[in-house]
Amino acid sequence: MNLKFWKRNNSKKETKQPKSALREWGDALMFALVAASIIRWATFEAYAIPTSSMEKSLQVGDFLFVSKLHYGSRTPLTPLQLSLTHQTIWGTDISSYSDAIQLPSFRLPGFSKVKHNDPVVFNYPPEKGHPLDLKTYYIKRCVGLAGDTFEIRDMQVYINGKTADTPEQRQHKYFMATDKVLNNKFFHDRDITDVYPVQGGYVVETSPAKAEALATLTFVQEVKIQKLQPGQEEFRIFPQEPGKYKWNRDNFGPLYVPAKGATVTINPNTLPLYEKVILEYEGNEDAEVIDRKLYLNGRETASYTFKQNYYFMMGDNRHNSADSRYWGFVPEDHLVGKAVFVWMSIDPVADSFLDKIRWNRLFQSIP
């Protein structure tokens, strides 16, 4: 053994200065941020429900844990981003990222495929101005899988011509006729949050069972569902071609949901259905539509083969949900994860602090 070398190194160890308390706190904070970022990216992330589009399965004020393990975590597309932020720095309008570097994104293997009626969190496809992985988060229920033929007839969903399962907590819009003025407590006690006074009564968004219960009240003359008839045009409905497709929120399709490797014929009737997919989501830099014709590499084509799977999403609040009926398909690379349970729920309109917490929803699994 080289005794002099050992003594020299041992001497250095003995004279090494201990870390300051500030340095130790800084190291601990850095470790915590890195660990939290990895957990958030690869496993679970917390989300809040800001709108009533999934009532009553999910309610405004619910806080969810979303599993990214189910469908497989995506590798980051935008690496230059402040940890634990999304789009902006907390409490400001200052961007929390730079898109100067954009990496190719890959999906790690998951332990589950998307299934019918899964509550899915995804990046809102039509949004502009943000990279794919930083688009606004939406949550809807997957009603159409890649390869399905999706249809709605008289508010009932059909998949491949067969009646689909309907969410137990779904809601619709009803007109409740009454000559009595009802206060907020009346509706709050019945867990009805979306209410609009109109001439002759109220428009309420509620479940079929609660609508039946309202109809039994002595001061209620009628409770009638507000549904649209077949052929009744709704101009906002996808693909926004009412002259060609007279679809509405209650009568829609049939519509084929694109599957990876599937080929569709392109003609003036089908092009409006798949134009956005081909031009915006498939990575085709050389695709364009001119005079209702599709061109790839400068040559007109009469067919197209899809490069990834797509999904059709709907909210459980069927008459108050901005979903695929209005803006089309969700590409597979936009999927974030599956909502698995509610860990906290706060009633935003409750009066007292104790009443604000919906104790019966804490740690409740999502149907």
Confidence of residue 1 (pLDDT cuts 50, 70, 90): very low
pLDDT for 193-205, tens place per residue?
899 999 999 999 9
CATH no., domain 24-148+311-367: 2.10.109.10
pLDDT at 153 over 90: yes
Q: Report the pLDDT averaged over residues 258-267.
A: 97
Give every strand in the sheet of 299-300, ordered side by side: 287-290, 293-296, 299-300
User: For residue 37, what is the enclosing H or E element?
Assistant: helix 21-42
Fold match, 24-148+311-367 / 172-225: no
The confidence score (pLDDT) of residue 91 equals: 86
Confidence of residue 120 (pLDDT cuts 50, 70, 90): very high
The two tokens of residue 136 are 């606004």
pLDDT for 21-52, tens place per residue?
676 676 666 656 666 667 666 788 889 988 99
Q: Report the pLDDT averaged over residues 344-366.
A: 86
SS3 content of the chain, % helix, strand, coil (to 5): 20, 30, 50
Cβ-contact 331, 125 below 8 angstroms: yes
User: For residue 214, what is the enclosing H or E element?
Assistant: helix 208-215
Provide the whole-model pTM: 0.89
Q: Report the pLDDT averaged over residues 95-99.
A: 92
The two tokens of residue 1 are 């053994």
CA 337/CA 49 separation, integer angstroms: 15
* N-to-C CA span, the chain: 69
pLDDT for 157-179, tens place per residue?
999 999 999 898 899 999 999 98
The confidence score (pLDDT) of residue 14 equals: 52
CA atoms within 13 A on the CB side of 288: 6
Residue with tokens 């999403």: 313
Q: Where are the domains of the chain?
A: 24-148+311-367, 172-225, 263-305
CA 250/CA 197 separation, integer angstroms: 23
DSSP structure class, residue 191: T
The confidence score (pLDDT) of residue 258 equals: 98
**Please, what is the average pLDDT of the chain?**
90
pLDDT at 6 over 50: no
SS (H, E, C) 303-315: EEECCCCEEEEEC
Q: Which residue has the higher pLDDT, 30 or 256?
A: 256
Cβ-contact 162, 206 below 8 angstroms: no
* Beta-carbon contacts of residue 343 (< 8 Å; ≥ 6 apart): 46, 63, 64, 65, 362, 363
What topology does CATH give the domain 172-225? Answer: Alpha-Beta Plaits (3.30.70)
